[in-house]
Amino acid sequence: MTTDDFSRNLDGQIAVVMGATRNQGRAYAVMLARNGCRGVAVHYHGEMSRGEAEETAAEIAHLGAEPLLVSADLTHVSEVVTLFDAVEQRFGQLNIVVNTVGKVVKKPFVEITEVDFDQSFAINSKAAFFCMQEAAKRIEDNGRIITIGTTLQAATTGLYAVYAGSKAPLEHFTRALAKEIGDRGITVNTVAPGPLNTSFFYPVETAESKAFLSQMAPQNRLGEIDEITPLIEFLVGPGGSWVTAQTLLINGGFIAR
């Protein structure tokens, strides 16, 4: 099945993508516009990210959807609420929520500081929880809620304790929320990619660690965003209606279960 097979199946829907300035967030926001969403809210954090958010918005507008730029620090619940308020006020509805926000700390367990711990859980766990909570309050029946986790949630590996550990709660949040709102036709899933060839991956890695992580996959390479996007595209579409409460590992065989 090709991307064209899914084309325009989201006509009239409204989406919000957290962390939509680059990498996965931008790819998913653009995909949602291409598939017919009437409006796509582009979340970014602070003025330093505004330029990239505007680039995402321009791509969305080029595809015929209406972009909405919203800046928010998602570690503050009040700003999560403000983000969803802005979407509701502009578009009057909400159908799709995709949260790609995350923070990587790569350190030996004994070197992780309290600041590392608090920041990681604030971004990877707390922000995700309250975005899911606010989405559940506002999303239309048959809506879609997707949070981006990490394959490292399922891996036995050192150095990523606080990153994988702060993403691990997403599995439990996802199962609970899917059960609580599933009778409205809403699906809730976590997508957990393996290492991807993105600017999110490289800052904490070395040439040696990249080579090691690449060879963990049978194809001996990192993944590409374009290899994750079709799964998001399926989950938000009508064909994804029976997939919920899942943590979906998509990692080229890095980890299988």
Catalytic residue numbers read 163
With contact defined as beta carbons under 8 Å apart, do 124 and 152 qualify?
no
The rounded Cα 44 to chain-centroid distance in angstroms is: 13
Q: For the chain, how are helix, strand and coil distributed in percent, rounded to 5?
A: 50, 15, 35
Long-range contacts for 48-54 (Cβ within 8 Å, ≥24 apart)? 49/21, 52/21, 52/22, 52/26, 53/20, 53/21
Q: What is the CA radius of gyration of the chain?
A: 17
